[in-house]
């Protein structure tokens, strides 16, 4: 059944051409058929070629034209082979071979002119029929071109929809990674500290930090889900809260501001917040640092975010954190660099254009 659906048009054209040609032969009893065998061979070959038009649309149209160029001057009575050529013209244009199909129309009509001029038995195609045939062929190519561009528009629309869906999935993945990863990392650090501390007071302090981190994580998760429903997104006004939550794990976090702080576009503030959050998460998980400096630089055309720690340095930690920060920055036309410092420690720096 799928084969029938795929070749339904070709089957319909083939049946029409064969039945129409047979009817023309049976109806013309005035004279015996001229080169009847050649006529049927050309008709069958032309119809058989139709089934290859999906793979070779322009070549099939050219072959159909060649069959017509042999069929009509050499055989009689006239059958419907021209209908097969007309269908291949439309199919070639619909497949995007518009210029080639137009050139075949020019070649076909030029062939008709040459045939009429060189004919010794008078004209076979009058002016009205000539212009009607030309208009018919041009309309077929134009119709195929419209079908092609409409299909291209649909494919483009579908591709854009898939791209938007992919971007949205990546955005959701980054949000969940940033929100849950940060606080779960802090919980992990504090849980490890609680297990290794023998002093009940210190263990109680670590458990209290775990409670606060989990509470904040739940709040952040709710806020993120709200954001995905077109709600507000966290911005730079919550960097101090980030610093406080990381400070609960024993790190000393200092925030510095270069330039005059001002309200920025929500996308820029949100990206900057996530960069700071992910950088602090990596410090808490991997750096074995004692202090961190978060520096926000407000320039005329860009916001710079820099997070320096005094930890062990080394290569950037594997995972999705750095990649997520870089994707956020690139989406805004900025960039992120992450590299160890010469004297120890690690630096994450983001540059976010302000438009």
If asked whether residues 95 and 214 sit together in one domain, one would say: no
What average pLDDT score do residues 150-175 get?
78
Rounded (10°) angle between helices 239-247 and 200-228: 150
Query: Is the pLDDT higher at 114 or at 254?
Result: 254
Q: Which range, of 39-43, 161-165, 325-329, averages the lowest pLDDT?
A: 161-165
If asked whether residues 111 and 176 sit together in one domain, one would say: no
Owning domain of residue 75: 2-125
Give dist(CA 335, CA 327) in Å, integer: 8
What average pLDDT score do residues 318-343 get?
85
Q: How far does CA 331 lie from the centroid of its chain?
A: 16
End-of-domain residue from the set 110, 125, 140: 125
If asked whether residues 206 and 72 sit together in one domain, one would say: no
Inter-CA distances, 125 with 72, 110, 187, Å: 12, 13, 89
Q: pTM here? A: 0.51
Residue 285 in domain: yes
Residue 48 burial (10 A CB sphere; 0-12, 13-18, 19+): middle
Q: How far does CA 171 lie from the centroid of its chain?
A: 16
pLDDT digits (tens, 9 = 90+) for 43-53: 999 999 999 99
Instruction: Record the tokens describing residue 107, joined without a space.
Output: 């070649």
Write down the pLDDT at residue 124: 67
Write down the pLDDT at residue 228: 57
If asked whether residues 234 and 293 sit together in one domain, one would say: yes
Confidence of residue 34 (pLDDT cuts 50, 70, 90): confident
Q: How far does CA 274 lie from the centroid of its chain?
A: 26
pLDDT digits (tens, 9 = 90+) for 60-95: 999 999 999 898 888 877 788 999 999 999 999 999
Token pair 């097969």 in the structure block, residue: 84
Inter-CA distances, 246 with 24, 148, 212, 251, 325, Å: 90, 58, 11, 6, 19
Query: Residue 49's closest CA among 84, 80, 98?
Result: 84
Q: Which range, of 4-8, 89-93, 123-127, 129-133, averages the lowest pLDDT?
A: 123-127
DSSP 198: -
What residues contact 110, with CB distance under 8 A and at least 6 apart? none
Rg, C-alpha atoms of the chain: 37
Residue 253 in domain: yes
pLDDT digits (tens, 9 = 90+) for 215-228: 777 767 766 666 55
Helix (H) or strand (E) holding 220: helix 200-228
Q: Which range, of 148-157, 183-192, 258-267, averages the lowest pLDDT?
A: 183-192
Residue 69 in domain: yes
Beta strand residue intervals within the chain, DSSP E: 252-258, 291-298, 302-309, 335-340, 346-353
Task: Decide: 309 and 345 in contact? Cβ < 8 Å.
Answer: yes
What residues contact 130, with CB distance under 8 A and at least 6 apart? 109, 112
What average pLDDT score do residues 235-239 get?
86
If asked whether residues 231 and 349 sit together in one domain, one would say: yes
If asked whether residues 63 and 186 sit together in one domain, one would say: no
Residue 149 in domain: no
Write down the pLDDT at residue 88: 93
What is the tally of structural domains in the chain?
Answer: 2
Write down the pLDDT at residue 31: 64
If asked whether residues 90 and 181 sit together in one domain, one would say: no
If asked whether residues 78 and 212 sit together in one domain, one would say: no
Residue 88 in domain: yes
If asked whether residues 110 and 217 sit together in one domain, one would say: no
CA quadruple 34, 39, 41, 44: dihedral, nearest 10: -150
Instruction: Record the tokens describing residue 312, joined without a space.
Output: 């062990």
Write the CATH number for 289: 3.30.565.10
pLDDT digits (tens, 9 = 90+) for 249-258: 778 889 999 9
Judged against a pLDDT cut of 80, whether residue 101 lies above it is answered with yes
End-of-domain residue from the set 101, 125, 149: 125
Query: Residue 332's closest CA among 204, 171, 186?
Result: 171
End-of-domain residue from the set 103, 125, 147: 125
If asked whether residues 336 and 220 sit together in one domain, one would say: yes
Give dist(CA 274, CA 272) in Å, integer: 5
Give dist(CA 246, CA 55) in Å, integer: 62
What percent of the chain is predicted at pLDDT more than 70? 86
If asked whether residues 114 and 164 sit together in one domain, one would say: no
If asked whether residues 120 and 175 sit together in one domain, one would say: no
Confidence of residue 267 (pLDDT cuts 50, 70, 90): confident
Write down the pLDDT at residue 302: 92
Residue 148 in domain: no
Residue 341 in domain: yes
Strands 291-298 and 335-340: unpaired
Write down the pLDDT at residue 153: 85
Judged against a pLDDT cut of 70, whether residue 268 lies above it is answered with yes
């Amino acid at each position: 059944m799928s084969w029938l659906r795929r070749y339904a048009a070709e089957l319909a054209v083939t049946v029409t051409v064969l039945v129409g040609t047979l009817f023309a032969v049976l109806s013309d009893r005035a004279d015996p058929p001229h080169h009847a065998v050649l006529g049927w061979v050309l008709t069958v070959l032309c119809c058989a070629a139709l089934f290859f038009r999906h793979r070779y649309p322009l070549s099939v149209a050219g072959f159909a034209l060649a069959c017509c160029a042999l069929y009509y001057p050499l055989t009689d009575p006239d059958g419907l082979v021209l209908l097969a050529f007309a269908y291949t013209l439309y199919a070639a244009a619909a497949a995007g071979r518009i210029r080639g199909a137009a050139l075949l129309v020019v070649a076909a009509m030029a062939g008709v002119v040459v045939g009429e001029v060189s004919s010794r038995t008078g004209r076979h195609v009058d002016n009205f029929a000539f212009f009607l045939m030309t208009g018919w062929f041009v309309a077929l190519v134009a119709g195929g071109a419209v079908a092609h561009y409409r299909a291209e528009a649909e494919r483009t629309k579908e591709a854009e929809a898939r791209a938007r869906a992919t971007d949205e999935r990546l955005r959701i993945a980054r949000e969940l990674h940033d929100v849950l990863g940060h606080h779960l990392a802090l919980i992990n650090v504090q849980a490890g500290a609680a297990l290794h501390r023998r002093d009940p007071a210190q263990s109680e302090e670590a458990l209290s930090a775990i409670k606060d981190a989990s509470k904040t994580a739940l709040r952040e998760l709710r806020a993120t889900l709200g954001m995905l429903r077109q709600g507000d997104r966290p911005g730079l006004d919550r960097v101090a809260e980030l610093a406080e939550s990381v400070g609960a794990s024993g790190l000393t976090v200092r925030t510095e501001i270069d330039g005059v702080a001002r309200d920025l576009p929500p996308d820029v503030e949100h990206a900057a917040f996530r960069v700071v959050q992910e950088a602090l998460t990596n410090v808490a998980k991997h750096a074995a640092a004692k202090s961190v400096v978060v520096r926000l630089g407000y320039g005329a055309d860009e916001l710079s975010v820099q997070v320096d720690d005094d930890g062990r340095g080394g290569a950037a930690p594997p995972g999705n954190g750095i990649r997520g920060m870089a994707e956020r920055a690139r989406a805004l036309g900025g960039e992120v660099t992450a590299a160890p410092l010469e004297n120890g420690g690690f630096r994450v720096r983001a540059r976010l254009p302000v438009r």
